[in-house]
């Protein structure tokens, strides 16, 4: 959806002596990688001017639309981004979709360098029968829905008849979804959770969430703190089958040689839970291992069960334990399945895309036309669209710094674009695009916080992009 700009007066801070500026950079995206790129650029040169372009009217990417609402401490990282945005060398252009509102050629005509930091906006598919059944959803849709992301607000979730949910994958997204499903609703009500999510969670009948890991406990992808956090929820037992908590000889050797402290801690925690049995609490988080879904089964297009194939682990080419199917199956009755098997990049028109990996092909952050081919001068990438959807928020800081090192070197060597135009605001105005400025966002931010205060929560998000624009136009005065 594109929100065409309309008649209101947009006051975008002018770029100080823009055409004279020796180093102008456009960053596409406004999540962690985009802000860390801006920060590293501005630290490396006081003369650089950085413009961030975001398709939504609001900034912060997955920090706003992905981080779980009960993880407000993690969301506190936006304070860092607010400091970055306060620099006179920085501008924000929200509600501007690169690839349609502005093309890559438009950016190339205005900037010396372009850095793509648009993340991975879609989800991976399982590719098994039954994926289209009602009751099967991408975890990313549920996450976006409870976080009030404009792209996901229209999904419909009804948990009132749902007792058992299976989540495919055992990464941190799986853990976030499990926690939101199993936490007492009151613990979420005071957060910035989307208003539409609370009645659904209050009416939830979910008693059991089953995490389906295709490998063993040593390869669980969640952070130990996530398991520890969920284990502390009131009225909940973490249940692990003792035979699945046992390490096979390959995993034991791999853990001893290559395992991280986190992986060791996960194994310890899981084995402790395995020793506690079923427990007596009404709600259960079951962590299953060495099982992979091979079919989602339903009647009348409605999911009823998931067929699981048992796995064993064998050493991959690099020695990492990989799952290999055994000739053994089980059926698990479930009311809902969430696929939490990772995000996937979406191509942006005009930007090279490596479909197999779902990323922008690059060498050290320098965009190449395709893997192994020539560098596209002046084009860079950072964050998930550079390296794939892995790592925590802070990982993007290191990733952005590495890209900026390439950008800085190329700028110093004169390997950059040759923009023929100065300030981009003229073009935006010509096209009638109502770009959202940082000052606009600050007004909307204050508005959401005040609405939240009145409702007894941290923030009441505006979840519809058109409504965001309507509100911020009214706040412009
Ligand atoms: P992830 O960490 O990559 O986990 C994906 C999970 O899906 C893994 O367990 C993986 O198993 C499994 N999987 C992949 N393909 C599968 C298939 N075809 N069949 C069955 N299982 C499959 O991804 P994520 O949970 O989406 O998280 C993305 C990134 O964001 C991660 O770096 C994560 O740490 C981060 N994140 C952090 C937080 C937080 O800090 N609280 C919250 C959310 C996300 P294998 O390991 O066997 O491939």
pLDDT in tens, 359-378: 999 999 999 999 999 999 99
Average pLDDT over residues 391-407: 97
Task: Output the CA torsion sign for 228, 233, 235, 236.
Answer: negative
Residue 23 makes CB contacts below 8 A (sequence gap 6+) with 45, 47, 48, 49, 112, 113, 411
Q: Which of 287, 320, 342, 343 to mutate to test the pocket of ligand 1 (most atoms within 8 A of CB)?
A: 342
Backbone angles phi, psi at 273, to 5 degrees: -65, -40
Q: What is the 3-state secondary structure (H, E, C) of 244-284?
A: HHCCCHHHHHHHHHHCCHHHHHHHHHHHHHHHHCCCCCCEE
Using the mean position of ligand 1's atoms as its centre, give its distance from the Cα of residue 196 in Å: 26
pLDDT of residue 18: 44
Mutate which of 64, 129, 144, 173 for ligand 1? The one with the most ligand atoms within 8 Å of its CB, which is 173
For the chain, the first-to-last Cα distance in angstroms comes to 26
Ligand 1 near 126 CB (within 6 A): yes
The residue-averaged pLDDT of 397-416 equals: 97
Give kind and range of the element (H or E) at residue 208: strand 208-212
For 243-269, write each residue's pLDDT tens digit: 999 999 999 999 999 999 999 999 999
Please say whether the beta carbons of 145 and 197 come within 8 A. Answer: yes
Judge contact between 217 and 248, C-beta under 8 A: no
Whole-number average pLDDT of the chain? 95
- Supply the pLDDT for residue 46: 83
What are 29-67's pLDDT values in tens digits? 999 999 999 999 999 988 999 999 999 999 999 999 999
pLDDT at residue 20 in the model: 52
| Pocket lining: 219 vs ligand 1, CB cutoff 6 Å | yes
Q: Which atom of ligand 1 is nearest to the CA of 292?
A: 20
pLDDT classification of 428: cutoffs 50, 70, 90: very high
Q: What is the pTM of this model?
A: 0.95
Those residues whose C-beta lies under 8 Å from the C-beta of residue 466, and which sit 6 or more positions away, are 3
Fold designation for 24-121+345-476: Rossmann fold (3.40.50)
Is there an atom of ligand 1 within 6 Å of 38 CB?
A: no
Residue-wise pLDDT for 93-136, tens only, equals 999 999 999 999 999 999 999 999 999 999 999 999 999 999 99
Q: Does the structure show a pLDDT above 50 at 456?
A: yes
Q: What band does 22 get if pLDDT is binned at 50, 70 and 90?
A: confident
Comparing 187-191, 261-265, 317-321, 444-448, the range with the smallest average pLDDT is 317-321
Looking at residues 326-337, what average pLDDT do you find? 98
Nearest to 52 by CA among 75, 66, 33: 33
CATH fourth-level superfamily of 122-343: FAD/NAD(P)-binding domain (3.50.50.60)
Q: What is the mean pLDDT of residues 438-467?
A: 98
* 389 contacts: CB under 8 Å, gap ≥ 6: 119, 120, 342, 343, 344, 345
The domain locations on the chain are 24-121+345-476, 122-343
Compute the distance from residue 63 Cα to the ligand 1 centre, in Å: 17
The predicted structure's pLDDT at residue 335: 98
Say if ligand 1 is within 6 A of residue 291 CB: no
Answer yes or no: is the C-beta of 271 below 6 A from any ligand 1 atom. no
């Amino acid at each position: 959806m594109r929100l065409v700009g309309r008649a209101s007066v947009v006051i975008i801070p002018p770029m100080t002596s823009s055409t004279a500026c020796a180093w102008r950079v456009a960053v596409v995206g406004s999540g962690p990688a985009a802000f860390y790129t801006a920060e590293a650029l501005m630290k490396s040169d006081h003369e650089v001017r950085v413009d961030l372009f975001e398709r939504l009217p609001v900034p912060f990417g997955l920090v706003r639309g992905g981080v779980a609402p009960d993880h407000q401490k993690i969301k506190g990282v936006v304070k860092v981004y607010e400091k970055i945005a306060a620099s006179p060398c920085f501008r924000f252009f929200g509600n501007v979709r690169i690839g349609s509102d502005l093309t890559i050629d438009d950016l190339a005509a205005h900037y010396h360098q372009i850095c793509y930091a648009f993340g991975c906006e879609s989800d991976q598919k399982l590719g098994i029968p039954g994926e289209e059944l009602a009751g099967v959803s991408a975890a990313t849709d549920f996450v976006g829905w409870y976080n009030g992301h404009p792209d996901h607000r229209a999904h419909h979730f009804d948990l009132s008849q749902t007792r058992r949910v299976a989540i495919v994958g055992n990464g941190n997204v799986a853990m976030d979804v499990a926690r939101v499903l199993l936490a007492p609703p009151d613990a979420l009500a005071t957060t910035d959770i989307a208003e539409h999510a609370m009645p659904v969670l209050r009416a939830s009948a979910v008693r059991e969430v089953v995490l389906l890991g295709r490998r063993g406990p040593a390869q669980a992808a969640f952070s130990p703190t996530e398991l520890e956090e969920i284990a502390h929820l009131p009225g909940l037992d973490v249940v692990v089958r003792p035979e699945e908590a046992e390490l096979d000889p390959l995993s034991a050797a791999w853990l001893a040689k290559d395992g991280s402290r986190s992986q060791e801690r996960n194994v310890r925690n899981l084995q402790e839970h395995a020793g506690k049995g079923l427990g007596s609490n009404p709600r259960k988080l079951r962590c299953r291992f060495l099982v992979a879904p091979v079919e989602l089964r339903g009647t009348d297009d409605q999911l009823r069960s998931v067929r699981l194939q048992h796995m064993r682990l064998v050493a991959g080419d690099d020695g990492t334990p990989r799952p290999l199917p055994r000739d053994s199956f089980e059926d698990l009755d479930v009311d809902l399945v969430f696929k939490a098997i990772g995000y996937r990049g979406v191509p942006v028109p005009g930007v090279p895309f490596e479909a197999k990996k779902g990323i922008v092909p690059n060498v050290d952050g320098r965009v190449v036309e395709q893997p192994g081919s020539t560098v596209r001068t002046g084009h860079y990438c950072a964050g998930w669209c550079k390296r794939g959807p892995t790592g925590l928020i802070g990982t993007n800081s290191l990733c952005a710094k590495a890209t900026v090192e390439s950008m800085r070197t190329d700028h110093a060597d004169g390997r950059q674009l040759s923009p023929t135009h100065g300030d981009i605001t003229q073009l935006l105005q010509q096209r009638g695009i109502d770009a959202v400025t940082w000052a606009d966002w600050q007004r909307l931010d204050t508005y959401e916080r005040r609405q939240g205060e009145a409702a007894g929560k941290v923030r009441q998000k505006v979840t519809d992009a058109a409504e965001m624009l309507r509100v911020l136009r009214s706040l412009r005065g």
